[in-house]
Amino acid sequence: MQRRPERERRADLINATILEIGAARSLDVTTVQIAKRAGVSSGLAFHYFKDKDSLFLAAMRAILSSYSDDVSRMMKSAQSPQDRLTAIAKACFGASSLDRNTMSAWVVFYALALKSSRAKRLLNVYQRRLHSNLVHNLRPLIGAQADPAARRIAGLIDGLYLRCALESHAVVAFDGAAEVLQAIEAECQDTCLFAAPKTHAI
Amino acid sequence: MQRRPERERRADLINATILEIGAARSLDVTTVQIAKRAGVSSGLAFHYFKDKDSLFLAAMRAILSSYSDDVSRMMKSAQSPQDRLTAIAKACFGASSLDRNTMSAWVVFYALALKSSRAKRLLNVYQRRLHSNLVHNLRPLIGAQADPAARRIAGLIDGLYLRCALESHAVVAFDGAAEVLQAIEAECQDTCLFAAPKTHAI
DNA sequence: TTATGAATTGACTGATCAATCAATAGGCGG
DNA sequence: CCGCCTATTGATTGATCAGTCAATTCATAA
């Protein structure tokens, strides 16, 4: 019985939840499994989280905020709208987002958002941030077309990510970021203001 | 105890399964619920389907083949590649695909495909057919770029559909087909061979 | 050292549900 | 009308699990 501060225990349990969901590739995981993976008893899981749903939502929040951090970090060093769009695309398909457990959990949480309004609300935060990021950086390039174009780019990101997650291959064979950049370039060709930094060929 | 031929009973049960999954917005539906919705006892469901999984897969197959029929029907009357691409986009966001129960079930089945190899195989059939349809009709327009472009368009369709399914509004506010056509147009602008029939403005 | 309270355990409960199966009902040929 | 076969029923079983709680362990301060 090793004692640790609440902060770390919660983190352990959240992490274990993501790992178990990733391993099972669904929400069909028991609290005993999760607790065991975290190295604690099942009772402790309920000590720190009201119920199983709350634990799932905490795990979802963790994934979304880790993604959010990725985006922020990559945007920091970008100067131009073009660079920032590239940063967004790379963050979506960066190493931490492409972790297999994370990908599976993400898809599972998408499905969860269908029935859980709390999960849906979390997803909406992610979606709105992505859309706003895209619009903000597309507007200098294509003006009023930025909004509908951003909708399409965001949809494309989700769709490609979904397909990645469903691929069984251990390593993903194609570069999602490059695909997204290609699409952005296509969207901008009207006014020809966007030129992809380097990655043209897929 | 009303007797009906096997064919119809199976169809009833499959339909009830989709309705229940749609209502619950998840796979958390009991065989008793499904059977009741189909107007039979739970035992009969197991008489016609080996187990619950088989029933789920049958329902998934029904949705995919209904979508497939939509595409075929709409492609029939199309002559040019442009028209056929338009037909594909419209079929994906046509009335029968946008039925709320069907949309929910579709998303749920996507998640199911993560863990069930049988479900994944069904999804692969759909994905390959869509990709092949797209490539076949893009090639006359953009040649060698058809393949990567088709990957993006297919991803966009999945992503937009996913977002549709997550929208809570009873009626979907935006026209997915128009978005897809707009993206196709953007992909073709290099060579300027594609002009959308009419729907430019979203 | 002892007392206090917080962290941790894991056995237990009550509910749920997939799948089974013996019993019944209905159609159909003889 | 009688048997036979199949469709259909629904009570039952056996397993699973979320969540509870009384008991136990540990850290810390007095």
Residue B198's pLDDT band, with cuts at 50, 70 and 90, is very low
Q: Please state, in angstroms and rounded to a whole number, the distance separating the CA atoms of residues B138 and B141.
A: 5
Enclosing H/E stretch for A163: helix A146-166
- B 32-71 residues, CB < 7 A, strand C: 32, 42-43, 46-47, 51-53
Q: Do B25 and A114 touch (CB under 8 A)?
A: yes
Residue B1 (CA) to nucleotide D2 (C1'), in angstroms, measures 22
Per-window interface: A 154-193 vs B, CB < 8 A? 154-160, 162-163, 165-166, 168, 174, 179, 182-183, 186-187, 189-190
Q: Please state, in angstroms and rounded to a whole number, the distance separating the CA atoms of residues A106 and B32.
A: 30
More confident residue, A202 or A175: A175
Residue A198's pLDDT band, with cuts at 50, 70 and 90, is very low
Q: Please state, in angstroms and rounded to a whole number, the distance separating the CA atoms of residues A10 and A40.
A: 11
| Residue A150 clears pLDDT 60, i.e. is over it | yes
For B55-108, what is each residue's pLDDT tens digit?
999 999 999 999 999 999 999 999 999 999 999 999 999 988 899 999 999 999
Which residue's entry shows tokens 């009772």? A43
Mean pLDDT over the full length of chain B = 91
Q: Please state, in angstroms and rounded to a whole number, the distance separating the CA atoms of residues B129 and A140.
A: 38
| Residue B183 clears pLDDT 50, i.e. is over it | yes
The DSSP symbol for B191 reads T
Enclosing H/E stretch for A83: helix A81-92
The DSSP symbol for B98 reads S
Q: Give the CATH class of B6-187.
A: mainly alpha
Closest residue (CA to C1') to nucleotide C21 in the complex:
B43
pLDDT at site B193:
44
Question: In one letter, which amino acid is A37?
Answer: R
The DSSP symbol for A145 reads G
pLDDT at site B143:
87
Residue B169's pLDDT band, with cuts at 50, 70 and 90, is confident
- Residues of chain A with Cβ-Cβ distance to B165 below 8 Å are 114
For A70-122, what is each residue's pLDDT tens digit?
999 999 999 999 999 999 999 999 988 999 999 999 999 999 999 999 999 99
For B8-67, what is each residue's pLDDT tens digit?
999 999 999 999 999 999 999 999 999 999 999 999 999 999 999 999 999 999 999 999
pLDDT at site A174:
79
Closest residue (CA to C1') to nucleotide C9 in the complex:
A41
Enclosing H/E stretch for B197: none
